[in-house]
Amino acid sequence: MTWKEKLAGQIPPAWAEEIDIYETQLELRKLGKIDEKLFAETRLRRGAYGQRYDNGQRFDGFRTQQLRYPKAGLTKGPDTEWDAPGMQRIKIPFGGLNPTQLETLADVAEEYSDGILHITTRQDFQLHFVHIEDTPTIMRRLAAVGITTREACGNSVRNVTACPLSGVCRTEAFDVTPYAKALTFFLLGHPDTQDFGRKFKPAFSGCEDEACGLVHMHDFGAVAKIQDGRRGFKVFVGGGLGAVPYQAKVLAEFLPVEELLPTAQAIARVFARLGEKQNRARARIKFLVDKLGIEEFKRLVFAERQTLPPDPRWTQFPPIEEKPIQPPGSLPAEQPPGFPAWLATNVYRQRQSGYATVTVACPLGDITATQARQLADLVRRFSGDNVRTSVEQNLLIRWVSEQDLPALYAELQRIGLGEHGAGTILDMTACPGTDTCKLGIASSRGLARELRARLAGQFFTLDEAVKGLKIKMSGCFNSCGQHHLADIGFYGNSRTIGNHKVPHFQVLFGGQWTHNAGRYGLAIGSVPAKNIPAVVERVTGRYVNERQPGETFPAFINRLGKAEARRMIEDLMQVPPYEQDPTFYSDWGDPREFSMGDIGTGECAGEVVSALQFELSAAERLNFEAQLAHEAGQFAKADELAYGAMLQAAHGLVRELWLDVPHEPAVVVAEFKTRLAGLFPAAQAAYLYKRHEGAPAATAEAVHRLIEEAQLFIEGAHVCADKLQQQKAAARDAILKK
């Protein structure tokens, strides 16, 4: 029995069909019938991402080895070996999970990955070392418990994040969860989100002053606000980290909740129409907002909003009902050893009296499959159904009765998840870095592991002001570790000393986590990786000794000034000669001599594949399936598929000129005739008209001819698509020049 057979009927039909299509695309790629770039973007939009060394090369410390995979020559993207291990990203909207989902995640981590669930800085999970051919099964097993991986990567709307305390927070305006969920499923697969030049990341916060959803660093951010008794959002657009960080701009001071989804849709249309498609480094929406100016961007968005056909989903916000399993209670007097320290850092008292939210600190965002199952048991026993992931790579158990806190702590200790220090200097955030990322320069996880080990031993003797600092690190300037937002941030880079490369980290001080990522840190200087622990020790020591009463770390750094901050660590920037100390020439946790040779081509930017190209690819797939049906003697089915292939191609072309074209064949054909008569080769267009107006092909010969004609129609569509794309680019340039 296969998982597809076992789970039949348990997966939402639309999701099941999508995964079947994806599986067919895998087979077509193996047959060489899908271009590698198109396949790369296809798998990225299903969350299947490349991983380090997937170009078939790896530096072993002495030389670059060729990794000779069995299916040599077959690729799953440009310069990406088919058999090379990859990563599967799994979207968790607003970080919300239930115990059954946690158990399924554990099972797939064990069976197809390395037994580890990794929580990302955007509330996703990632599985590493996954074979591409296992991905459809992973997707089916997750879909059966309500999890989709669709649009987890690629040029799409990524996971919609939200403050993990939404609904239980003491300072929020209201619970943003229903709105985050509604936006997730409204934009998921929406035709208006299929033509982006880069990814698009939304976030929600319940209040403006806390860290919450970090909306200022997002492409789209919404902060809950109540005005004149009405619920709405302060909406931000055009924020982002990456190599060039931008603070988001205010799109609307107050947008009533019923305007949230249509406004997001209008933004998507403007971004798809005017966003950069060629230069990947400037294709995020932050560059478009910057180029147009926020006032012009606003004007375009609200003008677009007026053109949108009404959609009933705009006002559907299904309530999220969380029911605690235990009655509220008070903290018992009897407490196990270690409990007070854990209580101080890992427990948040909810606004609902007698309940608390517990942060389960997951070191470097990792938990084992076994721990995930054990945690599912604890959630059922102490909470009910209510787990959330956090952007600090932890798990939160909500609705824990305060009387159960000591017992829950004891159980977490038993399963190795009872570490104190959540949200403190011990709770570091690190992206995968050189461990698995193709773009990683230095080992962010290796550094985090080292710093954690050093600080854990002295945590109880640290000054209280230091305990509360945040350290975040990324393996490169792309900021997946959110280093800009930390009191002390690092990102990996490299310097050449003599004939050797030395791993370094750029040091940033004074970023602001609160106020939704209110301020980005200042780059101070690049320090060899092996001296970073000394940087932490020195700057925290100076903060303890020189801070003024009540002075925060960012304020202290601001007062100190960039020049003095640099002077403080200048001696640590020096690298001893290789002959004197070769340890500087390898990275944390990696004994190989450091090299930049393993850096590959990143897939964060995806491949630029337009929505039209996807429709044409779908048309080709349908026509291929028509051939298979014809071979099997299923002539009626083959006829339907070949006809469907022409309609799909025609729909894609018409949609370039009319975004809201429906899929009804009569409308598609009529609009095709009207709008594309001068652009599409007439002889090939006639094949569509003939089949649309005539009877279905019934004999083997007639169906065979129809399939040939459909193929010619698709060829014509490709030619026409080029012309349309040129027209579109010219129109875009004209608007941007104006």
Taking the complex as a whole, the smallest distance from the CB of residue 274 to other proteins amounts, in Å, to: 41
Q: Which is nearer to other proteins, 459 or 689 (CB)?
A: 459
Q: Please name the residues in contact with 191: beta carbons below 8 A apart, sequence gap of 6 or more.
A: 611, 655, 659
In three-state secondary structure terms, 51 is coil
Residue 103 or 715 having the CB closest to other proteins: 103
Contact 520, 441 (CB under 8 A): no
Query: What end-to-end distance do the CA atoms of the chain give, in Å?
Result: 61
| Exposed / middle / buried, residue 67 (Cβ in 10 Å: 0-12, 13-18, 19+) | middle
Return the C-alpha torsion angle 543, 519, 89, 143, nearest 10.
120
Nearer to other proteins, 280 or 449 (CB): 449
Of 71 and 170, nearer to other proteins (C-beta) is 71
CA 279 vs. chain centroid, Å, equals: 21
Q: Which residues lie below 8 Å from residue 32, measured CB to CB, with a gap of 6+?
A: none
Please, what is the minimum distance in Å from the beta carbon of residue 582 to other proteins? 14
CB atoms within 10 A of CB 631: 9
**To the nearest whole angstrom, how small is the minimum distance from the Cβ of residue 451 to other proteins?**
11
Distances (CA, A) of 1 to 6, 18, 380, 455, 488: 7, 21, 31, 50, 52
The distance of closest approach from Cβ of residue 43 to other proteins in the complex, given in angstroms and rounded to an integer, is 19
Tokens encoding 566: 């640099």
For residue 64, report the phi and psi dihedrals to the nearest 5 degrees. Answer: -90, 120
Q: Give least dist CB 624 to other proteins, A.
A: 28
Q: Could you tell me if 220 and 247 are in contact, meaning their C-beta atoms sit under 8 angstroms apart?
A: no
Nearer to other proteins, 367 or 517 (CB): 367
d(CA 486, CA 364): 16
Q: How far is the CB of 129 from other proteins (least distance, A)?
A: 5
Q: Give the nearer residue to other proteins in terms of CB position, either 266 or 442.
A: 442
For residues 167 and 177, what is the distance between their CA atoms, to the nearest angstrom? 7
CB 280 within 8 A of CB 246: no
Nearer to other proteins, 83 or 192 (CB): 83
CB of 83 to other proteins, least distance (A): 6
Question: Residue 448 Cβ, how far from other proteins at the closest point, in Å?
Answer: 9
Residue 13 CB, shortest distance to other proteins, in Å, is 22
Q: How far is the CB of 280 from other proteins (least distance, A)?
A: 27
Interface contacts to other proteins, rule CB under 8 A: 1-3, 6, 52-53, 58, 60-62, 65, 67-70, 83-85, 103, 106-107, 110-111, 114-116, 128-129, 131, 363-364, 366-368, 370-371, 373, 415-417, 435-436, 445-446, 449, 452, 589-592
Closer of 430 and 575 to other proteins (Cβ) = 430
Q: Which two tokens stand for residue 283?
A: 């294709």
Tell me the C-alpha distance between 543 and 713, whole Å: 70
SS3 assignment, position 395: strand
Instruction: Compute the distance between CA of residue 236 and CA of residue 597 in angstroms, rounded to an integer.
Output: 39
Give me the residue label for tokens 């009533």.
256
Q: Which is nearer to other proteins, 70 or 318 (CB)?
A: 70
Q: Closer to other proteins at the Cβ: 598 or 607?
A: 598
CB-wise, 273 or 592, nearer to other proteins? Answer: 592
CA dist., res. 23 & res. 580, Å (int)? 55
Q: CB of 1: closest distance to other proteins in angstroms? A: 6
